[in-house]
Amino acid sequence: MSDTPSQPRHIPADLPARIQHYIDGSFTDSVDGDTFDVLDPVTNEAYLQAAAGKKADIDRAVAAARTAFTEGPWPRMLPRERSRVLHRIADLVESRDARLAELESFDSGLPITQALGQARRAAENFRFFADLIVAQTDDAFQVPGRQMNYVNRKPIGVAGLITPWNTPFMLESWKLGPALATGNTVVLKPAEFTPLSASLWAGIFEEAGLPKGVFNLVNGLGEDAGDALVKHPDVPLISFTGESSTGKLIFGNAAPFLKGLSMELGGKSPAVVFADADLDAAIDATIFGVFSLNGERCTAGSRILVERAVYDEFVERYAAQAQRVIVGDPQDPKTEVGALVHPEHYDKVMSYIEIGRTEGRLVAGGGRPDGFPTGNYVAPTVFADVSPDARIFQEEIFGPVVAITPFDTDEEALALANNTKYGLAAYVWTNDLKRAHTFAQSIEAGMVWLNSNNVRDLRTPFGGVKASGLGHEGGYRSIDFYTDQQAVHITLGAAHNPTFGKGA
């Protein structure tokens, strides 16, 4: 449903007119003075200008980060000392969660209540890694009486972090937390659609006591700033979250330098609903799973596969509930779906809806909701009877659009679930314990939730298979990615060497 705004658009107080890069502890314009417009997704009008970084700006940022790594105190601090700084960062983020959410919602179109939840998750990310590095233990192995071996963990250097425009502040924290916790320095390149909340990191880090040069931020387009960061010879690590097509470019551009890569890419995740499932819970979860965060989420269950015995009931109830989802101003606490991030993305999503009209049966939504003549608003849209060869079944739409497809057997459900190039997440709804576990283990996905929506445990690996990613982050996997593990071997007693060169 639409919820026609009853009052004028809320504009956050003290919005900046421009944002700059942050390099070596100072805010700075681009070397060439170039800027780009940042749009309000509700009006599609430019409300600020951001410095447009190029290779020269990336060079400055990497040089600052490299100096901070080789000469500064941060990599040489004890884990407990770095942990204290990270906890202060978490405290500051928590204390400013309302302001962070307000700016994030305004900049991205994300509903304010969901933006607030993401701000709190950002604080928790820092707190988690602050605790983890203090509790971190590394392997030691011994051969009794002969040899001792242990692992020495070391930060790698300058980490290049490239983040997306969906829930940007939280996803930035997901990379910044472990990169900084392990003693690296960083250059962050936030998404050009949503740079506003990223500009707040500098003040938070300064107040928390992060040394100068450890954190650097360069705004700009992916083909300029992002490309220069990936190709910089003094950046040994790249962590990227974004589209699979961009991930392929990064993979190719990083290859000549043999960089470490962690890439969380696109998804077209299945939600499989068996006839014995709790339909009330499954419908609530799958509605939330595709329409929360405006549908702009990589783990969205955007393909719902339903056993035929309950298919008609499921489709009818799902479509009716989707029509009751409240579309509204992102800053209104009642809003459940806000405005999509940018007119380019809005056009993409709308084009898929038009394709869907020829590939499935439209049962809810289908375009711009009533009462919203302007802005990037899309009504929650549901297509039923979608064939597995349809584009809306196969391709990532990244908006409030879902495809529902029936199945008859477990084998058919599994074939449908695995029938895309993606493999990020999957959701299985059944009360059959044996089926739940065997089915989950057969799905080609990096993460599976049984009788649950996307509930994260930060200790577990996060990542996908196939076109959905390369590597995993989360918990110790993040520690592994951001550190080198050096094996040290110690001989106990006499050296056990073969003797060469003493023969007659």
> Is residue 8 pLDDT above 80, yes or no?
no
- pLDDT at residue 499, as a whole number: 84
Cα–Cα nearest to 68, from 215, 233, 176, 202:
215
> Is residue 369 pLDDT above 60, yes or no?
yes
Cα–Cα nearest to 220, from 15, 22, 12:
22
Question: Residues, the chain, total?
Answer: 504
> Is residue 2 pLDDT above 90, yes or no?
no
pTM of the model: 0.96
- pLDDT at residue 145, as a whole number: 86
Q: Residue 498: pLDDT band by 50, 70, 90 thresholds?
A: confident
> Is residue 77 pLDDT above 90, yes or no?
yes
- pLDDT at residue 95, as a whole number: 97
> Is residue 338 pLDDT above 90, yes or no?
yes
CA distance 276 to 415: 20
CA distance 482 to 178: 7
> Is residue 132 pLDDT above 80, yes or no?
yes
> Is residue 1 pLDDT above 80, yes or no?
no
Percent of the chain with pLDDT over 70: 98
Q: 44: alpha, beta or left, given left = phi > 0 and alpha = psi -120 to 50?
A: left
Q: What is the mean pLDDT of residues 135-159?
A: 94
**Phi, psi angles (nearest 5°) of residue 264:** -105, 115
Q: Residue 7: pLDDT band by 50, 70, 90 thresholds?
A: low
3-state secondary structure of 418: coil
User: What DSSP assignment string belongs to 116-140?
Assistant: HHHHHHHHHHHHHHHHHHHH----E
Q: Which residue has the higher pLDDT, 10 or 17?
A: 17
Express each pLDDT in 162-177 by its tens digit.
999 999 999 999 999 9
Q: Residue 493: pLDDT band by 50, 70, 90 thresholds?
A: confident
Express each pLDDT in 100-119 by its tens digit.
999 999 999 999 999 999 99
Q: In what helix (H) or strand (E) does residue 207 lie, and over which residues does it extend?
A: helix 201-208
> Is residue 5 pLDDT above 80, yes or no?
no
Tell me the pLDDT of the chain averaged across its residues.
Answer: 96
Query: Of 140-149, 259-268, 305-314, where does mean pLDDT reach its minimum?
Result: 140-149
Express each pLDDT in 233-292 by its tens digit.
999 999 999 999 999 999 999 999 999 999 999 999 999 999 999 999 999 999 999 999
Instruction: List, in sequence order, the alpha helices (H) in 380-458.
Output: 391-394, 410-417, 433-442
Locate the DSSP E strands across 287-395: 303-307, 361-364, 381-384
Express each pLDDT in 381-408 by its tens digit.
999 999 999 999 999 999 999 999 999 9
> Is residue 496 pLDDT above 80, yes or no?
no
CA distance 202 to 204: 5
Question: Which three-class secondary structure string do you get for 215-281?
Answer: EEECCCCHHHHHHHHHHCCCCCEEEEECCHHHHHHHHHHHHHHCCEEEEECCCCCEEEECCCCCHHH
> Is residue 202 pLDDT above 90, yes or no?
yes
CA 463 to centroid of chain Cα atoms: 10
Q: 233: alpha, beta or left, given left = phi > 0 and alpha = psi -120 to 50?
A: alpha
Q: Cite the active site residues.
A: 264, 298
> Is residue 197 pLDDT above 90, yes or no?
yes
> Is residue 10 pLDDT above 90, yes or no?
no
Q: Residue 504: pLDDT band by 50, 70, 90 thresholds?
A: low
